[in-house]
Structure 1
Amino acid sequence: MRRTILLSAVLLGAGWAMQSGAAAATPRTVLIGLAAPMSGPSGSTGMSLERAAQLAVEDINNGKPVIGGEPVLFKLLPQDDRADPRTGELVAQYFVKTGVAAVVGHWNSGVGIPASRIYAAAGIPHVAPAVTAPDYTRQGYASAFRIVPHDGDGARHTAQYVMHDLKARSIAVIDDSTLFGATYAQEFVNAVAAQQGRVAGRYQVSSKTSDFNSILRSIRASDPDVVFFAGLDAQAAQLVQDLRRLQIRARLVGIGGLVGPTFLRLAGVAGEETSVVEPGLPSYKGPQWSHFESAWKARYKDDIYLYAPFAYDAVRVIAAAMREADSLAPAKVTAELHRIRYRGITGQIAFDAEGNLRDPVFTLYQVHQGRWRVIRSMGDRN
C-alpha cells in the first residue's frame, strides 16, 4: 500500500513537473516585419504605422497566444523604406533573410509593388495598410493583400463628389509623377470622363518640387472650377497657397493621405474648403476601438493619424489567420487570409480573390476653420 502511494506521488510529481515545464517553456518568437517611410516628408505617417503595429503586437502577446500547440511571442521588426523603391526592395530582401513570418507594408505604391514580388517569391504573406495602386493586387500574387481600398474605388467616389456636389464644369488635374500619384490621377480622369465631365488640363510635377508657377499660369488661363491634385500633404499645402496667391479661385480636391495635421499646419488659411476622399469610416466605435484609443493616448500623448488603425488591424488580422490555421507555415497563413472574416477596429475585414478589401468604405473630409471636418461617408454599401 505504501509503495502504491509513493508511486502515485512520484507520477503526480512528474506530471506536475511536465506541466510546469510546458508553462515555463520559452515561447517561439514570431517576427512581423513593418515597412514604411520613417524619415523624409512621410516620416510622421510611417512612425504612426509603427506605433499602431507595436500596440497590436503587445495586445496579441497579452493574450498568451498558442499556435500549433506551442506558445509564441510576436515581435515587430520595423524598417524605414524611405519611400524609395530600391530601399524598399532591400528591406524586403532583409525581411526574407531574417525569416519574418509576415509583413505589414508598404506605404507607397511605388515601393510596395516591387517589394511584393520579393515577398511573393519567398511565399511570405504581406498586408499593405496603404498601397492603393490597382496593379498591386493585379500581379497575381496570392500572398499580397491590402487592408485599404484601391485607387479605382477612391477615384470614382472623388469624381462623383466633384461632378455632383461641386458641380464642376471644368477640372485641372495635377499629379506628382510618382506611381501612386500618376495612377490615381489617371483613374480620376477616367472616372470624370465616364460621367461626361470635362478635364481642362492634365499636368505633372516632380514630387520633390515646390514650384508650381508655370503650371498655374496655364491653369489660371483656363479658369477651372476645381484643381485636383494627386500628391502628398506637404506638396498639396504649397499648391493651395500658390493657388490663392495667384488668385485662382478653383477649389482644391486632394487624394487619400492629406487628412492630418501636416496639411493644416503648412497650408494655413489658404487650405480652407480643401476636400479629400479618404478610406475608412469617419469615426470608430466599440470596445476594441476604445482600448486602442486609450492605449495610444496613454503611450504617445498624440492624435491618432488617419492610417494608424489600418496598421493595427493588419497585424491583428495576420495573427488571427495564424490562429485559425493553427500554423505559422506561410502557405497555410496565406490560404487562411483568403478565407478570413475578421472584425477589426476599422470594420469588417475580408479579402476578395485578388487580395483586395471587400466592401470598402470612404469618408469625405473638408477643411473648415482650420480643422478637418467630416462631410459624410461614401461607399457602395451606403
Structure 2
Amino acid sequence: MVMNTKRHAISAAIALAFGVSATSVMAQDMVVKIGHVGPITGNIAHLGKDNENGAKLAIEDLNAKGVTIGGKKVKFELVAEDDAADPKQGTAAAQKLVDAKVNGVVGHLNSGTTIPASKIYSDAGIPQVSPSAINPKYTQQGFKTAFRVVANDGQLGGTLGKYAVNTLKAKNIAVIHDATAYGQGVADEFSKSAKKSGAKVVASEVTNNQATDFSAILTKVKAKNPEVVFYGGMDAQAGPMLRQMKQLGINAKLMGGDGICSEGLGKLAGDGMADGQVICAEAGGVTGAKKDGMDKFKTRFKEKFGVEVQVYAPYVYDSVMVIVEAMKKANSAEPAKYLPALAKINYDGVTGKIVFDDKGDIKNGSLTLYTYKAGKRDQIAVVQ
C-alpha cells in the first residue's frame, strides 16, 4: 500500500512537470481486442466483407463514444481474419486470434467454419458470438463460450417448409443443398417441415459450394415437375442456378435460407430471376419502432462503406456491442470475468432484444421472409 502511494505520487510529480494531469497518467487507455472472422476471399467474399464492415462500424462507434472499464478508458481494436468459408482455414484463423490474445470473438459467418472453430475458443476460454451461423450443432456442443444472435436452422427451415405448403400451396418439392454444415442443415429442416405439412419431396440433389454449373441436377429436377425448388446454400450458387432454371424452362419458385437472401442476389441472377420467384428467409428481423432504427443503421452503413447491407452486418454490429456491454457490466475485459455477464445479458440492439438461453441461443429469435421485385429485396413479413 505504501509503495502504491509512492508510485502515484511519483506519477503525479512527473505529470505536473510535463503539464499533464495526474489522473490522465494513471488512467491510461486500455486496449481491448475484438476478433472477427469471415470469408474475405472466395465466392462469398461480399458477405464476409459485409460482416467485417459491421464490426468496423461498431468499433468506430465505441471508440467515438468512449467506454470506461475498470476505471480505465478503453481503446477497442478489431483483429480481423479471413477463413474463406473453409473449415481448415477457419480453425487456423481461430488459433491466430487466440494467439493474439483477443478479448472476445465475433464470427464466423458460416456454420461449417464456426463449429470447428468454437472448440478452439472454448479451450482458450474466449467468448464467441456468431452473427450468422444457424446450424443447431454450434450451441449443442455444450461450450459455455458459444453464443449466437440469430435464430437457428430448425426455426428458419421449419418456417420456410410450412410457408411452401400452406402459402404457396406446393405439393411437389425438389431439394438441393451444397453439402456444407449450413446448406445441408437448413435443407434437412426445410424437408422435414414440408413433409410434415403435407408436401412430397420428389427430388433430393447434392452439389458443392464451389459449383457454377447445375444443368445436370436441374435436368433431373425438371423431370419431376416441382412447384418449388429449395436450395440450401449461398447466393453465389443461387444466382447462376436461377439463370440455368430459366434456360431449362423450370418455372418453379426458388426458396432458400439467409445464405441466398442477400441484396446482391438480383445482380448474381441477372435476368434469370422473375419478380416474386424467390422466397427466402433471413434469421432475424424487426418491426415497429425498431424498424426505424434498422433503417437508420442501413443508411449510416451505406454512407460509410458505399454499399448496401447484404445480410448480416447489423447482427455483427450487435454482436460486438453485446460483448462490450457484458464487459461493462462485469467491469472487466478479461474473458473469464465477463463471460458470466454475457450469458445473462439483456441487450436492446439494432436487431432487437438479445437474451440468451442456457445453450447460448437467442430467445424468441425472429425471421424475416423476403421476395424480390425488379432485382431488389422486398419484405413479406417478420415472424417468430
Aligned to 1:7: none
CA distance in 2, matches of 1:63, 1:208: 42
The residue number in structure 2 matching 1:23 is 24
SS in 2 for 1:114: helix
Look up the equivalent residue of 1:373 and give its one-letter code: D
Q: Distance in 1 between matches of 2:71 and 2:270?
A: 56
In the alignment, what sits opposite 2:359?
A: 354
CA contact (8 A) 1:241 1:270 kept: yes
> Percent identity between the aligned chains?
37
SS at match of 1:363: strand
The 5 Å alignment of 1:27-46 reads: 27-46=29-48
1:136 to 135, 138, 162: 138
Paired AA for residue 257 in structure 1: G
1:185 aligns with 2:187: yes
Q: How many residues align?
A: 368
Moved more, 26-35 or 185-194: 185-194
Assess if the C-alpha contact under 8 Å between 1:103 and 1:127 holds in 2.
yes
Aligned mates of 1:152, 1:193 — CA distance in 2 = 14
| Aligned mates of 2:338, 2:292 — CA distance in 1 | 27
Which residue of structure 2 aligns with residue 342 of structure 1?
A: 347
How far 1:71 sits from its partner (Å)?
2.0
Matching residue's letter, 2:192: N
Counterpart AA for 1:21: A
Deviation, structure 1 residue 59: 1.3
- 1:229 aligns to what? 231
Aligned residues of 2:263 and 2:311 also touching (Cα < 8 A) = no
Q: Which stretch shows the higher mean deviation, 203-212 or 35-44? A: 203-212
- Say yes or no: does 1:275 pair with 2:279: yes
Query: Which one of the candidate residues 301, 322, 325 is aligned to 2:327?
Result: 322
Quick check: 2:166–2:197 contact (8 Å CA) kept in 1? no
Whichever residue aligns with residue 312 of structure 2, its letter is Y
Please give the alpha-carbon distance, in whole angstroms, between the structure 1 residues aligned to 2:250 and 2:44: 28
- The 3 A distance-change label for structure 1 pair 333 and 288 is farther
Give 1:261 shift: 3.7
SS of structure 2 residue aligned to 1:277: strand
Q: Return structure 1 stretches of 4+ with deviation > 6 angstroms.
A: none
TM-score by structure 1 length?
Answer: 0.91
Q: CA deviation at 1:293?
A: 4.0
Cα distance change on mapping 1:297 and 1:262 into 2, 3 Å: closer
Structure 2 SS opposite 1:374:
strand
Preserved CA contact (<8 Å) 1:142 1:355: yes
Structure 1: 5+ residue stretches without partners: 1-9
| Residue number among 150, 156, 163 corresponding to 2:158 in the alignment | 156
Residue in structure 1 matching 2:171, options 148, 169, 172: 169
Distance between the aligned counterparts of 2:284 and 2:328, measured in 1? 26
Does 2:86 match 1:84?
A: yes
Give the CA deviation at 1:161: 0.7
Secondary structure of the structure 1 residue equivalent to 2:174: strand
Supply the AA of the counterpart residue of 2:282: E
Q: Which moved more, 1:142-151 or 1:68-77?
A: 68-77
- How many angstroms does 1:260 deviate by? 2.6
Letter in 2 for 1:355: G
Distance in 2 (CA, whole Å) between partners of 1:262 and 1:50 is 17
What amino acid is the match of 1:235?
Answer: Q
Q: Which runs of 5+ in 2 are unaligned?
A: 1-8
TM-score, normalised via structure 2 length: 0.91
Alpha-carbon RMSD: 2.2
Q: Between Structure 1 and Structure 2, whose CA radius of gyration is higher?
A: 1
The question of whether the paired residues in 2 share the 8 Å contact of 1:349 and 1:358 is answered with: yes
**Alignment partner, residue 214 of structure 1:** 216
Counterpart Cα distance in 2 of 1:66 and 1:307: 28
- Structure 1: distance between partners of 2:299 and 2:168: 38
Asked if structure 2 preserves the Cα contact closer than 8 Å seen for 1:282 and 1:374, the reply is: no
Is the 1:234–1:262 Cα contact (8 Å) retained in structure 2?
no
Q: Secondary structure at the match of 2:205?
A: strand
Compute the displacement of 1:26 (Å).
2.7
Shift of 1:341: 0.4
* 1:39-118 matches, cutoff 5 A: 39-118=41-120
Match of 2:3 in 1: none
| Letter of the 1:22 counterpart | T
- Which piece of structure 1 moves more, 66-75 or 85-94? 66-75
In structure 1, the residue matched to 2:370 is 365
Letter in 1 for 2:95: Q
User: Aligned-pair distance for 1:61?
Assistant: 1.6
